[in-house]
Structure 1
Amino acid sequence: MQIPLARSVHDNFQVWGGKPSGNFSARSAYKLLQKTTLVPSNNNLQAKNKTFYKKLWNRHIPSKLKIIVWKISWNYIPTFSNLKINRVAVETRCPRCHLNKKDNNHIFW
C-alpha cells in the first residue's frame, strides 16, 4: 500500500526470471546463484576485493587491527558524515580544523 505508482502508463513486464512462474523467493535466488558459473576475472573489482581481504585475514597482526581496516574499507566507522546519514549528528565539519567534512578520508589520510 505504500509503494508509489507509476505516473505514466506502460506495459507490464516480467522482473524475476529465476523461476518459471515468475515469482521470487529466496530459494529460487539461491538456486540461480548455484547455477551461475561466472568466475570473477583478475580485472574485476570483486576479485581484487576478495584478494585484498584474503591477504588481510591471513596477516599475523592483532585482530583489532584487522577489524578496524575492514571497517574503514566498508565505511563502517562512526564518523560525523556517517552519523549525520543516520541522523545522530547534525554537523559534519571536523571540530579540529573546521574545514572539511569529517569522513574516513579526512580522518585517516
Structure 2
Amino acid sequence: MSKYGLTDGSPCLSRMITTPNNMNLQASVNELITSAGSWKVEVVRGMFRDEDVNAILAIPLDMGRTDLLWWHFEQHSRHLVRSGYRILKQGLVAGDVSTNQGSASGGLVNWNFIWKVVVPPKVRLFIWRACRNLLPTSFNLQCRGGLVEGACPWCGIGRDDLLHTLIYCHFTHFVWALSNVPWETTACLYDDPEVWFRSLHRNLDRSLFCRAFIICWLLWWRATSCYLGTPRFQ
C-alpha cells in the first residue's frame, strides 16, 4: 500500500494495479524508462492492462530528483508499524501480495476459513501460503530464475507445482483414497490452490475439512523431503 510520489511529491498512482502479476517479469521501474528520461511506451503497453498503461504514462518523469515512497494510510505519508498492523487486522490489504494467478475473490479476501480451522498453526500458515502461491515449489523457483528441476519428485512426470503435489500426482491419489475425504471434492479440475481450498471448505464438514488440511500439509512436507534424499513416496 506504499506508492511513489514523483516530481511535485504528490502520490501519482491509484492504490491498486489491476494487471495480474506475471511471475516471469523480472523488471524494475528503471527498465521502463529510457536514458533520455521518457517512458518506453511499447514496453509498458506490453506489460500492463490499458487502464494501468494510461496511469503509468501519465506520470511525469523528472530524472533530476529522487523518488519518494508514500504510505497511503497516514496523513504524514510515513509508514508506521502500528498503522500497518491496524490495516492488516482490518483485512484491507489481504489481497495485495501478488501471485501469478491472483485471488479467487478478485479483491479483498476473507481468510477466516483458514485461521479458524482447529489445526496446528504451522498447517494454517502452510494453507495460507499455498493460497497466495508463496510456497517454493520447483515450478515457482524456476519462474523466479532458480536452477532447479521442474518435474514432480514422486512420479517424475508431472510439473512440480502445488496442485500436482496435492491432488493430481497419481501417488497422492492413494493417500486421498485412504483418507475418508470424499474423492469428488479433490477429483475436479482446478488451476488455483485458493479456489480448491475454498471448494473444500464449502463441501466438507468441519472434521473432514481439518483432515484435508492436515493431509495437504503432510503431502507437502513429504514432497519437500524428497529433495533431501528420500527419492520416492513411501
TM-score, with structure 1 as normaliser: 0.56
Alignment of 1:76 with 2:120, yes or no, is no
Q: What is the alpha-carbon distance in structure 1 between the residues aligned to residue 133 and residue 41 of structure 2? A: 36
The correspondence of residues 15-54 of structure 1 with structure 2, limited to 5 A, is 15=59, 26-27=70-71, 29-30=72-73, 45-47=106-108, 49-50=109-110, 53-54=111-112
Quote the residue 2:40 is aligned against: 6
For residue 101 of structure 1, give the secondary structure of its aligned residue in structure 2. coil
TM-score, with structure 2 as normaliser: 0.30
Alignment of 1:102 with 2:160, yes or no, is yes
Q: How many residues align?
A: 85
**Residue identity matched to 1:94:** C
Percent of aligned pairs sharing the same letter: 20
Which sections of structure 2, spanning at least 5 residues, go unmatched?
1-29, 43-56, 61-66, 76-104, 168-234
Q: Which has the higher contact order (CA 8 A, sep 6+)?
A: 2
Deviations 1:78-107 (A, max 9, x none): 111112123333321113322211001111
Runs of 4+ in 1 over 4 A off after TM superposition: none
Deviations 1:23-60 (A, max 9, x none): 97514x4369xxxxxxxxxxx5335x31xx12321222
